[in-house]
Amino acid sequence: MSVNERRFPFRELALSWVWALLIFLFSASVALAFNSLRSNGLPLFRRAPFDLYTDCPELSGELPVISVAKLPVGASKVVYMDARMALPHIMERIPGALFMPMYPIDLPDFSPLKTLPKGTWIVVYGSDKLSSNKRLVTALMGQTVRGVYLLEGGLGAWKAAGRPTVKTRIPMAKVADIHPGEVLFVDARDEDAALREQISGALNVPFDTTLPPEAKTLEKLKLSALQIIVYDGGESKNGSPSLALGVAADLMARGCAKVAVMEGGVIAWKAAGKTLVPGKGGDQ
């Protein structure tokens, strides 16, 4: 067998690889071209405003700051935005402040900005410890919103200046006073716990400080005319607020009406001889 004959299989194999590569490139080009022409084409990369486990967005070097003394009392063209999570927002806030929580891995809903008249000042306050106030100002400036200021000293400075605040109490409900057919239950535990067992008909809205509630479930709760009863496992770890309080505050801050927390959660429900059922999962 000659040298050329011995090399021929390798040449044939190389040609096969070349043809395979050409076919792949041609197919990929056609697929990408077709996808780009579709009005609802699939995104090539997952859209995310920032990387996981990093500040969102990166803080600007210098942010415009305004003191309480420079803010006229009752000014019509000043809007306050609270960048904190729902529970502290509900417990005490500046009157009329918009709920704009700065989650670690998601941006707030900026749609309320569209209704603001031109020339409106936007004054942001929040948590200095988590820099939620600074991150919200940075995010607004990134949206080319003008007239954005960071409230110097935050809510503490506002109160020290004698300005008014609003406090909302989250209603509590005892198991004995709850009539299942007249309420809509919300399970504040994580999905796994809700799948194992839950109150019949409950919607699962897990307590989460990294993402807002699922939009479809939130819309269903807003449209409901029933009393919303939020419950959790019934135990609180290390003295921290219960999951149910956090979810109830979130729902109230987002406009849900008639929200209350069931005292004692699942523990109290079982102690009263009430039954639980397996969760359904998927779309609720």
**Which has more confidence, 149 or 60?**
149
Asked if 116 and 193 sit in the same domain, the reply is: no
Q: Count CB neighbours of 161 within 10 A.
A: 13
The CATH number given to whatever domain includes residue 202 is 3.40.250.10
Choose the final residue of a domain: 160, 195, 216.
160
In a domain, 255, yes or no: yes
pLDDT tens, residue by residue, 106-115: 788 888 888 8
**Mean pLDDT of the 219-224 span:** 95
> What amino acid occupies position 210?
T
In a domain, 226, yes or no: yes
**Mean pLDDT of the 2-9 span:** 52
In a domain, 113, yes or no: yes
Which pTM does this prediction carry? Answer: 0.76
**Mean pLDDT of the 225-231 span:** 97
Q: What does the pLDDT read at residue 255?
A: 94
In a domain, 12, yes or no: no
In a domain, 180, yes or no: yes
Cβ contact 66:152 at 8 Å: yes
pLDDT band of residue 284 (cuts 50, 70, 90) is low
Rounded CA separation 60/136 (Å): 11
The domain in which residue 225 lies consists of 172-271
pLDDT band of residue 152 (cuts 50, 70, 90) is very high
Q: What does the pLDDT read at residue 22?
A: 84
**Which has more confidence, 177 or 9?**
177
β 98-99/78-82 pair status: parallel
Asked if 221 and 250 sit in the same domain, the reply is: yes
**In the chain, how many domains are there?**
2
Q: What does the pLDDT read at residue 29?
A: 82
Asked if 82 and 131 sit in the same domain, the reply is: yes
**Which has more confidence, 282 or 68?**
68
Looking at the chain, the whole-number percentage of residues with pLDDT higher than 70 is: 82
Cβ contact 135:59 at 8 Å: yes
Choose the final residue of a domain: 160, 191, 222.
160
In a domain, 42, yes or no: no
Q: What does the pLDDT read at residue 46?
A: 41
Asked if 150 and 176 sit in the same domain, the reply is: no
Asked if 249 and 181 sit in the same domain, the reply is: yes
> How many residues are there in the chain?
284
Is residue 60 over pLDDT 60? no
Give the three-state DSSP class for 144: coil
Choose the final residue of a domain: 130, 160, 190.
160
**Mean pLDDT of the 94-119 span:** 89
In a domain, 146, yes or no: yes
Asked if 109 and 136 sit in the same domain, the reply is: yes
Asked if 119 and 179 sit in the same domain, the reply is: no
Is residue 260 over pLDDT 70? yes
pLDDT, averaged across the chain: 86
Is residue 53 over pLDDT 50? no
pLDDT band of residue 51 (cuts 50, 70, 90) is very low
pLDDT tens, residue by residue, 62-77: 899 999 999 998 888 9
In a domain, 1, yes or no: no
pLDDT band of residue 35 (cuts 50, 70, 90) is low
Lowest mean pLDDT among 12-26, 124-138, 237-251, 269-283: 12-26
Q: What does the pLDDT read at residue 37?
A: 65
Q: For residues 32-46, b (16+ Cβ closer than 10 Å) or e, as one string?
A: eeeeeeeeeeeeeee
